[in-house]
Amino acid sequence: MKLSHRITNLTGGGSDGWDVFYRARAMIDAGEPVTELTIGEHDIGTHASILEAMHASAMGGHTGYAMVPGVDALRDAVAARVQARTGVPTTRDNVLITPGGQSALFATHHAVCDEGDTALFIDPYYATYPGTIRAVGAKPLAIQAHATNAFQPLASDIDAVASGARSLLINSPNNPTGVVYGRDTLQGIADVCIRHDLWLISDEVYDTQLWDGTHISPRALPGMADRVLVVGSMSKSHAMTGSRCGWIIGPQEVIGDLINLATHTTYGVPGYIQDAARFALDQGDGLEREIAAPFRRRRALALDILSRQNTVGLVPPQGAMYLMLDIRATGLDGEGFANALLDEHRIAVMPGESFGRAAAGHVRVAMTIADADFASAIEKLCQFAAKIS
């Protein structure tokens, strides 16, 4: 029996870019000690108070079908949070609660792309972006943002390929680079979207992990509120990765159509998880700062270590929980370096090539282990790079 081209071609016929990660996990399963700096998983876990709220809701009976768009109290809380941070009027009618940010990315592309449409995205990119676009039947087209420009995408590069496309996906603060798009960058992107009548999908799941600069949602730029769909999530801001609770912010009529899609796919998010998410949002900025604090500390540790050597390069991360390290001085590509580092030091990092061509010759390091262990791993990585360069 033959499967659909859409499902068999999700990775474009090649690797999904996670080979080093899978090899590291196999080593761990075999009992070998490996220092994992691969995925964006908090080492602190979900806060006990959030889990207590989740437990109380479940024990209180909120375990049946929840409203597909999301419970009103959570939609209201998300809307209030977005309006307070962006200044853009936002109500529950602009909010759809989704099973995590990945589900939101899938739904937003379904909303704006038909079969065969071209959907643009910025390279380097989160590893699932091209597969998500292929999953809705659209054609992914990457636009490179180069390390020489601090991984800030150029409006001229987007403009050059935007004719006939339907959408553009951006991510700031950015995974994998940690770069925060500046106002000039975002205004240039907005101008291109207006000129070519593009939908802009803005992945803002790292908006609470900001170390330098200012997070600007493109929905707040003049003329953009009606053409931007914002993807948000509790995963990174509140260390609720496994709870799978995210959202889409957009024009009311688009949210209405997305509710129809959710009715025919996910059928909503469990009520007790939504209640826990509402409780977490109600704790305000203090809890978000507490959850972000370890990454701020580890960024400072890494910058100090990297400043004392001259083999490994870095575009200083302005946000998110990652470092994008330039290891081209070693003569290896990202995959070769990551595999060699895993073999010699049992330290697992992600090859830059997992995130697109623009990140070739780099490795992504997740700042997701205890401070002392993290500092030790960065020092070993730098020493290894110096040895083989």
Does one domain contain both 272 and 318? no
Does one domain contain both 267 and 139? yes
Q: Has residue 141 been placed in a domain?
A: yes
Domain that holds residue 340: 5-45+286-388
CATH of the domain at 310: 3.90.1150.10
Q: Has residue 260 been placed in a domain?
A: yes
Q: Has residue 157 been placed in a domain?
A: yes
CATH of the domain at 269: 3.40.640.10
Which tens digits make up the pLDDT trace of 279-302?
A: 999 999 999 999 999 999 999 999
Does one domain contain both 119 and 217? yes
Which tens digits make up the pLDDT trace of 141-187?
A: 999 999 999 999 999 999 999 999 999 999 999 999 999 999 999 99
**pTM for this prediction:** 0.96
Q: Has residue 221 been placed in a domain?
A: yes
The total domain count for the chain is 2
Does one domain contain both 86 and 196? yes
- Which helix (H) or strand (E) segment holds residue 351: the answer is strand 350-351
314: number of Cβ within 10 Å: 17
Residue % of the chain over a pLDDT of 90: 95
Does one domain contain both 31 and 162? no
Is the separation of the CB atoms in 312 and 136 below 8 Å? no
- Measured over the CA atoms of residue 171, residue 318, residue 337 and residue 32, the dihedral's sign is negative
Q: Has residue 200 been placed in a domain?
A: yes
Q: What is the mean pLDDT of the chain?
A: 96
Does one domain contain both 134 and 256? yes
Checking if the pLDDT of 238 tops 70, the result is yes
Distance (Å, whole) CA 46 – CA 273: 12
Does one domain contain both 276 and 154? yes
* CA 1 to mean position of chain CA atoms: 36
CA distances in angstroms from 176 to 29, 47, 256, listed in the order given: 26, 25, 32
Residue % of the chain over a pLDDT of 70: 99
> Which segments of the chain does DSSP mark as H helices, in order?
5-8, 19-29, 48-59, 72-86, 100-112, 129-135, 155-161, 183-196, 234-237, 252-263, 271-282, 285-307, 334-345, 371-388
Does one domain contain both 201 and 137? yes
In 3-state terms, the chain is what percent helix, strand and coil (to 5)? 50, 15, 40
Does one domain contain both 242 and 143? yes
Does one domain contain both 303 and 279? no
Checking if the pLDDT of 14 tops 70, the result is no
Is the separation of the CB atoms in 102 and 128 below 8 Å? yes
Residue with tokens 């709220």: 53
Q: Has residue 56 been placed in a domain?
A: no
| Residues 6 or more apart in contact with residue 180 via CB below 8 angstroms | 172, 173, 174, 210, 212, 213, 214, 215, 318, 319
Please tell me the predicted confidence (pLDDT) of residue 15. Answer: 63
Does one domain contain both 20 and 112? no
Checking if the pLDDT of 10 tops 80, the result is yes
Which tens digits make up the pLDDT trace of 240-290?
A: 999 999 999 999 999 999 999 999 999 999 999 999 999 999 999 999 999
Does one domain contain both 323 and 278? no
Task: Give 313's pLDDT tier (boundaries 50, 70, 90).
Answer: very high
Residue that terminates a domain, selected from 283, 318, 334: 283
91: number of Cβ within 10 Å: 13
Selection from 320, 244, 278, 239 nearest residue 75 by Cα: 278
Please tell me the predicted confidence (pLDDT) of residue 330. Answer: 98
CA distances in angstroms from 258 to 143, 207, 240, listed in the order given: 27, 23, 23
Which tens digits make up the pLDDT trace of 109-121?
A: 999 999 999 999 9
Distance (Å, whole) CA 369 – CA 263: 39
